[in-house]
Amino acid sequence: MALDTAHSAFTLDRPADACAPRARTAEPVTPPFTFTPALKRELAPLYERVKHVVTPMEWVHYAPLVKAINELKVKRNAVILAHNYMTPEIFHCVGDFRGDSLQLAKEASRTDADVIVQAGVHFMAETSKLLSPDKTVLIPDPLAGCSLAASITPEDVRALRAAYPGVPIVTYVNTSAAVKAECDITCTSSNAVKIVESLGAPRVLLIPDEYLAKYVQTKTKVEIIAWKGHCEVHERFTGEEMEAMRAAEPGLKIIAHPECPPDVIAASDFTGSTAAMIDWVKTKRPPKVVLVTECSMASNVAAEAPDVEFIRPCNLCPHMKRISLEKIYEALLYNRYEVTVDAGVAEKARRAVERMVEASA
């Protein structure tokens, strides 16, 4: 694999200009409900879903917000797209659609709701806007970015195009719409190999995640040219850590996301997107497993698989963790923060995303 180090660009994480942060209210959020015995009874079926991972004390705080959000959703004809990294009270109690980046992108294109609240990070909300241009797309915290999206700019992609004339450019969805607009097609961690091979080219640029590119290289004969972006959560895991866990926990199954470094993937029993990791655990039901990815996902799966023991090296994504029930409630109440994409950028970026959706159908 030829690594493109000359063009590597690490920048501070930042939201896209289209969604610059605005002034926030300083007052604490007060939902219109308090935790009463009646509310407890009414929401008992929802608590049942999370009782293994949410304590009764936490539920006293969450339940009024859950009820208020679910009422506002009906009032505004809104849906909440919840990424697998959301905390369990969001994922299981207010999320209408749950899944990995690809599943959420597909749901965004199918929904007939007026409002989409993206319980995820900014690039996911932009993708929803690209696929649902007539809908209002809200991100509860506009600073929910992504180190991969921040690692590459449209100028970087143009420079790559000039340096590798005729070589198709595949971008991971973890990029801004402006970067997608410069690329031929997008991919996610669940379809990257398929998308690369669908192009019928001997060489492909796969940006910006170096480790995803290296992983794809192990699965295809197409020559992959990578960028030097990394996920700040997954790059922290190490192969030694995996070996130490295996030694300490006999029978442990190690399931890793392809954003992890190659030595972590080499030490794992299975590698796949967040959705593929969840399916693996639900299908195989290993007695003991470690999900080598963002920490909240284990809580979400544990809520549904209490028979599985989860070993938890807890790396949290600081961007995903900006999303809370309070902020989702405020998003629906005050219609904020609306995500918009410049029309010229949107047209080109949408083409790249739609090509992926068609190729992975």
Which residues contact ligand SF4 by CB under 6 A? 121, 146-148, 174, 231-233, 259, 294, 317, 319-320
CA distance 181 to 199: 17
Choose from ligand SF4, ligand 13P, none: what does 101 bind? Cβ within 5-8 Å by kind: ligand 13P
CA distance 170 to 200: 13
Residue 203 backbone dihedrals phi, psi, to 5 degrees: -130, 140
Residues that bind ligand 13P (CB under 6 A): 84, 100-101, 174, 188-189, 231, 259, 273-274
Beta strands in 26-143 (DSSP E): 78-83, 97-99, 115-119, 136-138
Choose from ligand 13P, ligand SF4, none: what does 319 bind? Cβ within 5-8 Å by kind: ligand SF4
Considering beta carbons, is residue 118 or 217 the nearer one to ligand SF4? Answer: 118
Considering beta carbons, is residue 121 or 275 the nearer one to ligand SF4? Answer: 121
Considering beta carbons, is residue 318 or 344 the nearer one to ligand SF4? Answer: 318
CA distance 217 to 77: 43
Q: Which amino acid is at 294?
A: E
Q: Tokens 């992959």 map to which residue?
A: 224
Q: Least distance in Å: CB of 263 to ligand 13P? A: 18
Considering beta carbons, is residue 59 or 85 the nearer one to ligand 13P? Answer: 85
Q: Least distance in Å: CB of 275 to ligand 13P? A: 7
Choose from ligand SF4, ligand 13P, none: what does 84 bind? Cβ within 5-8 Å by kind: ligand 13P
SS3 of residue 301 by DSSP? helix
SS3 of residue 81 by DSSP? strand
Choose from ligand SF4, ligand 13P, none: what does 87 bind? Cβ within 5-8 Å by kind: none
Q: Least distance in Å: CB of 188 to ligand 13P? A: 4
Considering beta carbons, is residue 186 or 324 the nearer one to ligand 13P? Answer: 186
The string over 183-214, giving b where at least 16 C-beta atoms fall within 10 Å of a residue's C-beta and e elsewhere, is: bbbbbbbbbbbebbbbbebeebbbbbbbbbbb
Q: Least distance in Å: CB of 315 to ligand SF4? A: 8
Choose from ligand SF4, ligand 13P, none: what does 217 bind? Cβ within 5-8 Å by kind: none
Q: Least distance in Å: CB of 112 to ligand 13P? A: 24
CB-based contacts of 222: which residues, under 8 Å, 6+ apart? 196, 197, 199, 201, 202, 203, 204
Considering beta carbons, is residue 120 or 142 the nearer one to ligand 13P? Answer: 120
Q: Least distance in Å: CB of 148 to ligand SF4? A: 5
Residue 315 CA to chain centroid, in angstroms? 15
